[in-house]
Amino acid sequence: MAGRTVRLVLLVGAAVLASGSQGDREPVYRDCVLRCEERNCSGGALKHFRSRQPIYMSLAGWTCQDDCKYECMWVTVGLYLQEGHKVPQFHGKVSLNAWFWSTVFHTRDTDVTEKMDYFCASTVILHSVYLCCVRTVGLQRPAVASAFRALLLLMLTAHVSYLSLVRFDYGYNLAANVAIGLVNAAWWLTWCLRNRQRLPHVHKCIVVVLLLQGLSLLELLDFPPLFWVLDAHAIWHVSTIPVHVLFFSFLEDDSLYLLKESEAKFKLD
């Protein structure tokens, strides 16, 4: 009984930690968002925002509140850089949500926790594909990224519906995730190789993609647990932790590059 209580407390704590990132909790960011929403997201100001909002942003569900969060994120990033601090993470929920449900499932294997683990894993893979689309295409063609996001959401809905309502097919789920993962890897690698001279930091992304593809063999080529404790799945989970740290480092470097590029264009204008 005590063991269950401890696990429950740890899981609740994980859920709380997953509810936001360091940047989201910054008083400067929160105050900026509050003031922005008060100034722009009601009455005549809201009508003005909607009247000048591009149609593709409206179709994608981008709200005034979303716009405030986006603008204030960059304000906070600028302040961090001025003070010589590392750039904080914002809105880090998708991966943490997947890890949370993975922890729940491996703590208590039930039909519900198993489905949440599998569905969240699929969501993370599709989100990575979407992130790749935004970075490689969406910055120049936002409408394409919005349309692609709608397609991915449709695919996820169909995937979850089939596994929930028709048949929970482990083989199909594995094949679908592997296929999307290969598309994701090929897309990222193609972009990285084309831009490796212009963007030196893409070598981190290349290493991440290759490592994840190599580590995925642990999921495909299973073996008996080492010392009857560490099976292939457990080793895969542990091994992916430093890979995600490296990927975040790439995203941090890439965001700084985009920020400097944006500032340079702003000065020229």
DSSP 84: T
Question: Could you tell me the CA-to-CA distances from 253 to 11, 86, 142, 200, 258 in Å, in that order?
Answer: 32, 11, 22, 10, 9
pLDDT category at 5 given cuts 50, 70, 90 is very low
Question: How far apart (Å, rounded) are the C-alpha atoms in residues 201 and 219?
Answer: 29
Q: Does residue 75 have a pLDDT over 90?
A: no
* DSSP annotation string for 205-228: HHHHHHHHHHHTHHHHS--PPBTT
Q: pLDDT tens digits, residue range 80-107?
A: 888 787 766 665 555 767 778 887 887 7
φ, ψ dihedrals at 226, nearest 5°: -75, 130
Per-residue confidence (pLDDT) for residue 45, from 0 to 100: 92
Are the C-beta atoms of residues 186 and 136 closer than 8 Å to each other? no
Per-residue confidence (pLDDT) for residue 18, from 0 to 100: 41
- The mean pLDDT of the chain is 82
Per-residue confidence (pLDDT) for residue 55, from 0 to 100: 82
Tell me the average pLDDT across 100-123.
85
Tell me the average pLDDT across 160-181.
93
Per-residue confidence (pLDDT) for residue 217, from 0 to 100: 84
Q: Which residue has the tokens 């909002």?
A: 53
Tell me the whole-structure pTM to 2 decimals: 0.68
Q: Does residue 26 have a pLDDT over 50?
A: yes
Q: Which of 59-63, 75-79, 134-138, 253-257 has the lowest mean pLDDT?
A: 59-63
Euclidean distance between the first and the last CA atom of the chain, given in angstroms as a whole number: 66
Q: Which residue has the tokens 């594995």?
A: 174
